Amino acid sequence: MKRCGFVENAVAIGYHLIIEMNNTLSYKGFTARIEFSADDNVFFGRLLGITDIVAFHGESVEELKDSMRETVDFHIEVCEKTGKKARKSFSGKVLFRLPDKLHAEIAEAAARRGKSINEWGKEIFETAVKNEMAVNK
pLDDT tens track for 67-119: 999 999 999 999 999 999 999 998 999 999 999 999 999 999 999 999 999 99
pLDDT at 64 over 90: yes
The percentage of residues in the chain with a pLDDT greater than 90, rounded to a whole number, is 66
Reduce the DSSP state of residue 16 to 3 states and report it.
Answer: strand
3-state secondary structure of 64: helix
List own/partner pairs for 73-82 with CB under 8 A and 24 or more apart: 73/28, 75/30, 75/47, 75/50, 76/28
Query: Taking 80 as the threshold, does the pLDDT of residue 126 lie above it?
Result: yes
Average pLDDT, stretch 2-30?
54
